[in-house]
Structure 1
Amino acid sequence: MPQLTSAQARERFARARLARLATVGAEDRPHLVPVVFALTGDTVVTAVDHKPKRTTRLRRLDNIRAHPAVCLLVDDYDENWDHLWWARGDGTARVLPPADESALSSEYIRLLVDTYPAQYGDRPPRGPVVEVTVGRWSGWRAI
């Protein structure tokens, strides 16, 4: 089973449109959510946007504040299993204030808008921003 190099894993990650963010919550229990993201260098950013949520106090944000070690996973499934692959970024996350309160967050929101113009062009995320500094890229491919 071929492992991806760090560079190959990062390259495949960069081409993905959706990732899954894993955090550690209360009682050391895992919590997993899908996120859209932008990548700059070895930093992955995502933000709380306008999609409906049950609450504005998101568990992922509380989890990151308590346990900043996170994992992000992207993958490609195909019925032809020779085409399967996944790429993962393990890193340290921090919650930043919304863009109207932070120049860095504003820069990250611009990256998200550039990455998802149809979704964010007229309605950029206005909530907190999550910055993940990836320390390790890894991955696997079937062939």
Structure 2
Amino acid sequence: MPTMTSAWARERFARARVARLATVAAGGRPHLVPVVFAVSGDTVVTAVDHKPKRSARLTRLDNIRAHPAVCLLVDAYAEDWDLLWWARADGTARVLPPADASATSAGYVRLLAGKYPAQYGERPPSGPVVEVTVGRWSGWRAA
């Protein structure tokens, strides 16, 4: 079974529409949530947006502040298993202030709005931004 090169994994990852973000919760337990994201070089960004949340205090943000090691995964499933693939970004995350308080965050929110214009064009994310510095891109494909 062929593995993907780092460049191919990053390119496949960047084109995906949703990723799963894994963080380390209290007691070392995994915490996994779906996120939308954008890629710039070896950086993956996501932000807290207007979608309903159970709480204003998000577990993923607390987890990142306590344990910045994260993993993001994207994949493609098909009934034809020759078309299967996944790509992963392992890195170190940090929580940045919202776009209205940080030029760096504002740039990242513009990237997100460019990738998701229907969702963020008129209502860009206004919450904290998560910046992941990717240390390793990896992946797998069936054929």
Shift of 1:109: 0.5
Pairing 1:9–2:9 present: yes
Partner of 1:93: 93
Q: Secondary structure at the match of 1:3?
A: coil
Q: How many residues align?
A: 143
Partner of 2:64: 64
State the superposition RMSD in angstroms. Answer: 0.4
Q: What TM-score do the two structures reach when normalised by structure 1?
A: 0.99
Shift of 1:132: 0.2
Q: Secondary structure at the match of 2:138?
A: strand
Post-superposition Cα deviations, 1:115-142, rounded to whole Å, max 9, x if no partner, equal 1000001100000000000000000000
- Segments of 5+ residues of structure 2 without an aligned counterpart are none
Shift of 1:5: 0.7
Post-superposition Cα deviations, 1:94-124, rounded to whole Å, max 9, x if no partner, equal 0000011101000100110011000001100
Pairing 1:124–2:119 present: no
Q: Secondary structure at the match of 2:124?
A: coil
In structure 2, give the amino acid aligned to 1:62: D
Identity of aligned residues (%): 80
Partner of 2:137: 137
Partner of 1:49: 49
Q: What TM-score do the two structures reach when normalised by structure 2?
A: 0.99
Partner of 2:112: 112
